[in-house]
Amino acid sequence: MPSASYFKKARHFVANVISNAYVSQGDALQYLHKHSATSAMYDSEERYPPPLCHEGTREVVIGRIEAWYGFEIPPTKKVMWVHAPAGYGKTAVAGTISKKLESRTDLDFNPVGATFFFWRSSPERNSPARFIITLAYQLAISIPELAPHIEVAVKQNPMILNKALEVQLMKLIVDPFRSLGELDDVPHRLVIVDGVDECINSGQESRVEKQYAEDQESVQVRVLDLILSLQSHDLPLCFLILSRPEPWIKQHIESGFFQAVTETLDLYQVGDHVKDVEKFVRDELAQIAKSFQVRPGGDEQWPGEDTVQRFVWRTGGHMLYASTVIRHMADPYDDPRRRLEDILNSESNAASDLAHSTPFSSLHELYHQILRSCPRTNRTTMVRVLEEILAARGHLSLKMGLHPAFNVLDRLSGRPLNRGISALRPLHAVIRLSDKDDGSCSNPAFFYHSSFAEFLEAEPQIFPDMTLNVQKGVSRLLAGCLKSLLAITIDGQVREEHLKFAVREWVGLWQKWRPSEEDDPSPLLKALRKIDLTAYFVQNLIGQDTWSINLWWCLQDLYHPTQNFIVRDISFSACATLIEDALLHLRSSAEGFFLHVLHPDYFASHRLYIIPVPQFADDLGIYMVQISEHRAPAFDNVVKALRCLLEEQRELFMELERRVLFYSWGDRPVIENMFKLARQKDMS
């Protein structure tokens, strides 16, 4: 039996050979690009058009940031934290700074080294998993002399992309800078990190389930610590951080280490917000008057000074309030004057308690007014679609486009296509209904601003006789996913968008599902029992652009009667038989999947899908531990399958063994024992 050190050397050798072979076939920077969160960059297609400040506004804030950066003279404090509550235009400020600096023609270098725009609703941008990789790739582009050293770092250790973020920081950024030698002559670049509070460590990236609040707090602090670490190495970089002043973020930045290197800018306290809003309001009302050709009787043209001043006062200096009202007015089937007057004549106290309130009471009152203006005829459908949008956040990517995304919700919920988006048309001021909307929001998102989603969750009684319940949306989407998965076969193809969504996201929705005592989980348990999960797992392996962690979740506590994710939140004794049936079905399907994949013919013909995927090796190792600990009947069958693979495809067997031992988080001695048994002629 080879020693542990032998296996350690072997698995490192194999991993590096495989990864190096891949990188050597193409450029190392392309390899880095492939694993970057390209949508998080300032000028990415996903964010186009990027949110920018209205022309002539936020000039004081932008001037302060430019003065701090200094262009050719590095700032004394290399970190600036710009903070403000939701809706004060932080992302627009970050975008405007990026655009202004990149457009400078009087400099012989690009001042913007890298950008990363976190976004809660985007699986690629709501996790720190690709944060360092994305910064390193952009630095290689913006600082040409740095590129060869980053390429060398990737080629020497392609597995760096799977390492801890702190290790990536050193190998992909710090060490390449040090390789340049003297850095005094390297112009300092600005790294812009927007929306740290939007980094939530989504379930798609997180291997361990945690409490949401604790998880988002720790992961945001980790991002800040990465930035602090970067600046500590005295590199020609400075950092502009923009976020809400969440208590843990504020506390961390005001701590000793951060405070010494950070200049703080309170966006709410800087500049004349009322003046900025007034310019925006005047420009937008003038455009509406021109577009709709609206003029009241008499000599004075609409809107008139009195209307402008009432509108500006109503906003309380809050640009989000103003922009929401402007969108609300822009209804081609209604008179914009009447819509504005309805808002201005309401009795809510707008200006006095808007600033710094959480949630913003006046903004919420505006949302209530917009909802009250919706026709009664489609409110039921409207509520259902809103429930599903909130349920699908973090699951449904809008890269496919808004209409296809709405069609996915319609298909899963059993509505006629386009019914959902039609029901939401009265909410065009707060929900994006077109892919050609202007840059007042960050794509991808259904909502123009996250404050509307927060409003819906904080005040679910959105109509006098209707309450929004996100769990109902989760249940409907989950039921639709399970129904769609009935079409899955081992040899079939997954092409339709709603079926792709079901394959990718049903596990996440099941984890989000929290049945109350009034809910009956029986229909979902019965639906799960009807799905060919073996075929599903196979399709999940070969049919996705990236391997999802669904099987990994399914394998956790596979033989535990109450802790497997399928049943852990169901406490109904009346469903005991259904629960046991669901678990048996899951166990037999997992066994069927591994036996199918390990069959010599299948394994050989699909080795490019199986061998290079670290997740499969990890899943197999976890499964081996599960069936070994419980001495399940599947144990003997898997050993036989491994033995058959060894006899007919010896090299592939050896490769599989090395990769499982290298990648799996499972109990190593147990895994080694199973492979050892597979080498024996009998199983005594």
Question: Residue 89 sits in a domain of what CATH number?
Answer: 3.40.50.300
Q: How far apart are CA 509 and CA 502, in angstroms?
A: 9
Residue 586: CA count within 13 A, CB half-sphere? 28
Q: How far apart are CA 231 and CA 258, in angstroms?
A: 10
Give the residue carrying structure tokens 């990190």: 193
The H or E element spanning position 238 is strand 237-243
How many domains does the structure of the chain reveal? 4
Classify residue 201 as left (phi > 0), alpha (psi -120 to 50) or beta.
left
Question: Which of 647, 666, 646 is closest to 656 using CA atoms?
Answer: 646
Q: How far apart are CA 661 and CA 37, in angstroms?
A: 29
261 and 133, same structural domain?
yes
118 and 261, same structural domain?
yes
Highest mean pLDDT among 81-95, 227-241, 276-290, 625-639: 227-241
Query: In the structure, what pLDDT confidence band is assigned to residue 360 with cuts at 50, 70 and 90?
Result: low
Is the CB of residue 80 less than 8 Å from the CB of residue 190?
Answer: no
Say how many C-beta atoms besides its own lie within 10 A of residue 126's C-beta: 25
Out of 246, 266, 286, a domain closes at 266
pLDDT at position 292? 63
pLDDT at position 4? 43
Domain contains 290 = yes
Out of 217, 251, 266, a domain closes at 266
Domain contains 7 = no
Say how many C-beta atoms besides its own lie within 10 A of residue 344's C-beta: 15
Question: Between residues 588 and 394, which one has the greater pLDDT?
Answer: 588
Q: What is the pLDDT of residues 248-283, one digit of tens each?
A: 999 999 988 899 999 999 987 888 888 999 999 999
Query: Which residue type sits at 248?
Result: W
Is the pLDDT score of 19 beyond 50?
no
pLDDT at position 546? 41
- Measured in degrees and rounded to the nearest 5, phi and psi for residue 191 equal -105, 120
Question: What is the domain extent for residue 338?
Answer: 273-296+303-355
115 and 234, same structural domain?
yes
Cβ neighbors of 591 (< 8 A, separation 6 or more) are 627, 634, 637, 638
Domain contains 351 = yes
Please state the rounded mean pLDDT for residues 350-367. 57
Question: Which of 434, 451, 432 is closest to 321 using CA atoms?
Answer: 451
**Using alpha carbons only, how large is the chain's radius of gyration in Å?**
28
Hey, CA dihedral for 103, 107, 108, 110, is it positive or negative? negative
Question: Which range is least confidently modeled, 270-279, 351-360, 510-519?
Answer: 351-360
Is the pLDDT score of 385 beyond 60?
yes
Query: Which residue type sits at 317?
Result: G
Please state the rounded mean pLDDT for residues 546-566. 81
The two structure tokens encoding residue 362: 């006046």
341 and 240, same structural domain?
no
Is the pLDDT score of 358 beyond 70?
no
Question: Between residues 203 and 285, which one has the greater pLDDT?
Answer: 285
Question: Between residues 28 and 112, which one has the greater pLDDT?
Answer: 112
- What HEC string does 377-395 produce? HHHHHHHHHHHHHHHHCCC
Is the pLDDT score of 21 beyond 70?
no
pLDDT at position 553? 87
279 and 261, same structural domain?
no
Is the pLDDT score of 53 beyond 90?
yes
pLDDT at position 161? 83
Q: How far apart are CA 43 and CA 40, in angstroms?
A: 9
Is the pLDDT score of 82 beyond 50?
yes
First to last CA, the chain: 19
3-state SS, residue 623? helix
The Cα-based distances of 481 to 392, 510, 516 in angstroms read 12, 10, 20
Cβ neighbors of 158 (< 8 A, separation 6 or more) are 16, 19, 20, 22, 23, 31
Could you give the angle at the alpha carbon of 402 between the alpha carbons of 494 and 375, nearest 5°? 125
Please state the rounded mean pLDDT for residues 15-33. 58
pLDDT at position 347? 62
Domain contains 467 = no
Please state the rounded mean pLDDT for residues 84-89. 81
Query: Which residue type sits at 215?
Result: D
Whole-structure pTM value? 0.71
Domain contains 37 = yes
**Which residues are paired to 238 by β-bridges?**
190
**Which residues are paired to 431 by β-bridges?**
447
Could you give the percent of the chain with pLDDT greater than 90?
48
Please state the rounded mean pLDDT for residues 71-78. 88
pLDDT at position 612? 77
Query: Which residue type sits at 597?
Result: V
Q: How far apart are CA 36 and CA 161, in angstroms?
A: 10
Hey, CA dihedral for 615, 616, 619, 620, is it positive or negative? negative
Say how many C-beta atoms besides its own lie within 10 A of residue 290's C-beta: 9
Question: Between residues 298 and 603, which one has the greater pLDDT?
Answer: 603
Cβ neighbors of 21 (< 8 A, separation 6 or more) are none
Q: What is the pLDDT of residues 166-211, one digit of tens each?
A: 999 999 999 999 999 888 889 999 999 999 998 987 543 443 333 3
Query: In the structure, what pLDDT confidence band is assigned to residue 678 with cuts at 50, 70 and 90?
Result: very high
122 and 164, same structural domain?
yes
Q: What is the pLDDT of residues 221-247, one digit of tens each?
A: 999 999 999 999 999 999 999 999 998
The two structure tokens encoding residue 508: 């996440």
pLDDT at position 436? 60
The two structure tokens encoding residue 475: 């249940």
Domain contains 65 = yes
Q: How far apart are CA 402 and CA 389, in angstroms?
A: 12
Please state the rounded mean pLDDT for residues 83-107. 89
Is the pLDDT score of 547 beyond 60?
no
280 and 258, same structural domain?
no
Domain contains 234 = yes
281 and 156, same structural domain?
no
pLDDT at position 18? 40
* Burial class of residue 557 in the structure, from the number of CB atoms within 10 Å of its CB (0-12 exposed, 13-18 middle, 19+ buried): middle
Q: Are strands 189-194 and 112-117 parallel, antiparallel or unpaired?
A: parallel
* Helix boundaries (H) for 233-303: 247-253, 256-259, 273-292
Is the pLDDT score of 284 beyond 90?
yes
238 and 93, same structural domain?
yes
pLDDT at position 548? 63
- Measured in degrees and rounded to the nearest 5, phi and psi for residue 443 equal -80, 155
406 and 335, same structural domain?
no
Question: Which of 54, 104, 61 is closest to 80 using CA atoms?
Answer: 61
Could you give the angle at the alpha carbon of 448 between the alpha carbons of 443 and 449, nearest 5°? 105
Could you give the angle at the alpha carbon of 588 between the alpha carbons of 583 and 591, nearest 5°? 130
Q: Give the DSSP letter string of 107-165.
A: SSS-SEEEEEE--TT-TTTSSSTTHHHHHHHHHHHHSGGGHHHHHHHHHH-GGGGGS-H
Domain contains 51 = yes
285 and 261, same structural domain?
no
* Burial class of residue 283 in the structure, from the number of CB atoms within 10 Å of its CB (0-12 exposed, 13-18 middle, 19+ buried): middle
- Average per-residue pLDDT for the chain: 84
pLDDT at position 203? 44
618 and 526, same structural domain?
yes
The two structure tokens encoding residue 579: 């629960």
- Measured in degrees and rounded to the nearest 5, phi and psi for residue 183 equal -105, 0
pLDDT at position 25? 37
* Burial class of residue 578 in the structure, from the number of CB atoms within 10 Å of its CB (0-12 exposed, 13-18 middle, 19+ buried): buried
Is the pLDDT score of 526 beyond 70?
yes
Is the pLDDT score of 498 beyond 80?
yes
